[in-house]
Chain A
Amino acid sequence: MIRTALTHHMPHTLREAGDLLGGLDGTTAVLGGGTMLVPAMGRGERTYDHVVDLRRLGLSGVTSTADEVELGAMTTYSAVLAADVDGPANLLKRLAAGITGGPQLRNQGTVGGSASYANPSSDVPAALVATGARLSLHGANGVREVTAAQFFRDAFETVLAGDEIVTKIRIPKNDARTGYFKLKLSESSWPIATGAAVAAHTDGRLTQATVTLGGVCATPVTVDVTECVDERGVLTVSDREWAELIEQHLEDPWDDELAPASYRQQVAGVVARRAWEETIQDGEQ
């Protein structure tokens, strides 16, 4: 059970939220979907005097323009699944369908919350990095925008300042083909390794091939594999060479209760390759 004399705040405007986050006496946490924060408080692992609940800030919703898909930070996985999303942002629909924890968790977990939690063993961070997402951070001093790659600093650590929240996530639309592969130990398991592949195209030609690995290191790792594939996207290197290239990019693989670093290292190449293979359809990009 939560052991502190917690005070719950539910602001209705971003201004209010910012004031609370910047001005409350005592330790303050941001409460999004709550799926990680609430149990952690319950076990006394995280203790706060205040929580600022983002529910009433109108931060959910998926909208599309010609150039980008915009998701409110409080958009749940269920809402993502229900939304009309095209372009590389489709990766989010893919991963939303496979979120561990059943329909309940998909109703409660949010994209922005997952990003802010920055758990290595989760799907969202790598997918955001892979798609070149930009996150809007709103704080007491205004709004700033960062790329996903900039956003994730370390395991469970982002560039969010104490008074900042993610308000929206913008994912560019383009002709890139994407592929996704997730490795988990069983249906109860969180991801051990994920691969988010992006095959960028210009005028119908494959111009860049990348795979962003999640779960393997503290933060997502993007590997440029353009040199390893031909114009159709087919691998021009052996599986072993591919794996070695991927492994070279892994500094300090992630180690946890579910799998040791050595295992993640061993499977990273496979996961990346399988994600990439999804971008190839009918032998062609």
Chain B
Amino acid sequence: MSTSQASNLSPQSTPGRSITLRVNGESRSVECHDRQLLVEVVRDQLALKGTHVGCMNGDCGACTLELDGQIVKSCLMLAASADGGEVNTVESLGSPDELAPVQEAFWNNDGFQCGFCLPGHLFAARNLIESNDAPSDDEIREAIAGNLCRCTGYQSIVCSIRDAAASARAESPRASV
């Protein structure tokens, strides 16, 4: 059910509605304002803080999540546009006690430092490997071209994704990462 923080929403005349989303596998009904972005609703009403805001302009990729099976920058969407959709955030990839192979790969390869860009990169990585489990370095770099990182210089991220791809190949051609 809804865990909306309706008390934080402004009173009266700001148009709003109830939207339904399947969030990380669970059906959620959310009260939101029409003017709210998908990333706002994810972070505020859904209290999922793993999706980050770095630029509010679609440039940095920190807000990347999966909507209806595609990776998108959630700061570029109104929440209302996603009504009825299926949203997966970084919280769905794994938990501290049970990390997904792609998460292990990033940790093993020191693929992050401050961690702010990390959730977005995890989605870009997973998205690549799902369609290509033997990517070249160039293909890896293209796949993360929508994600900025200011700490690592990307090289350890490339290593992480190489490793995650190898894990996927080891399991099976279409294994989930």
Q: Give chain A's interface residues, CB within 8 Å of chain B.
A: 1-8, 10, 31, 33-35, 38-39, 41-43, 51, 53, 55, 78, 100-105, 107-108, 187-188
Chain A residue with Cβ nearest B71: A104
Closest 6 CB pairs of A and B: A102-B146, A2-B35, A6-B35, A8-B80, A8-B34, A7-B15
Write the nearest CB–CB distance from A8 to chain B, whole angstroms: 4
Apart from A104-B64, A108-B73, what are 17 other A-B pairs with CB-CB below 8 Å?
A: A1-B40, A2-B35, A3-B35, A5-B15, A8-B34, A31-B78, A34-B81, A38-B75, A39-B56, A78-B70, A100-B145, A101-B146, A102-B147, A103-B145, A103-B146, A105-B58, A108-B77
Encode B6-35 as 1/0 by CB contact (under 8 A) with A: 000000011101000000000000000111
Q: Is the CB of A6 within 8 A of B146?
A: no
Q: Is the CB of B37 within 8 A of A42?
A: yes
Residues of B contacting A7 with CB < 8 Å? Answer: 15, 34
Which residue among A10, A39, A41, A55 has the maximum number of chain B CB atoms within 10 Å of its CB?
Answer: A39
Q: Give chain B's interface residues, CB within 8 Å of chain A.
A: 13-15, 17, 33-37, 40, 56-59, 61, 64, 70-73, 75-78, 80-81, 83, 124, 127-128, 143-147
Q: How far is the CA of A103 from the CA of B146 in the complex (A)?
A: 7
Write the nearest CB–CB distance from B36 to chain A, whole angstroms: 8
Q: How far is the CA of A8 from the CA of B32 in the complex (A)?
A: 11
Residues of B contacting A10 with CB < 8 Å? Answer: 80-81, 83
Chain B residue with Cβ nearest A105: B146
Q: How far is the CA of A105 from the CA of B124 in the complex (A)?
A: 12
Which residue among A8, A41, A187 has the maximum number of chain B CB atoms within 10 Å of its CB?
Answer: A8
- 8 A-B residue pairs with Cβ-Cβ distance under 8 Å, sorted by A, are A4-B35, A5-B15, A34-B78, A43-B56, A102-B143, A103-B124, A103-B128, A104-B71
Residues of B contacting A4 with CB < 8 Å? Answer: 35
- Given A8-B78, A10-B80, A38-B76 in contact, is the A103-B15 Cβ separation under 8 Å? no
Residues of B contacting A38 with CB < 8 Å? Answer: 37, 75-78
Chain B residue with Cβ nearest A42: B56
Q: Is the CB of B58 within 8 A of A101?
A: yes
- Given A5-B15, A5-B35 in contact, is the A104-B61 Cβ separation under 8 Å? yes
Q: How far is the CA of A3 from the CA of B36 in the complex (A)?
A: 10
Q: How far is the CA of A1 from the CA of B57 in the complex (A)?
A: 11
Q: How far is the CA of A162 from the CA of B143 in the complex (A)?
A: 38
Write the nearest CB–CB distance from A32 to chain B, whole angstroms: 10
Q: How far is the CA of A194 from the CA of B72 in the complex (A)?
A: 26
Residues of A contacting B80 with CB < 8 Å? Answer: 8, 10, 53
- Given A53-B80, A78-B70 in contact, is the A103-B35 Cβ separation under 8 Å? no
Residues of A contacting B78 with CB < 8 Å? Answer: 8, 31, 34, 38, 51, 53
Q: How far is the CA of A1 from the CA of B83 in the complex (A)?
A: 20
Q: Is the CB of A39 within 8 A of B72?
A: no
Write the nearest CB–CB distance from B109 to chain A, whole angstroms: 21
Write the nearest CB–CB distance from A26 to chain B, whole angstroms: 11
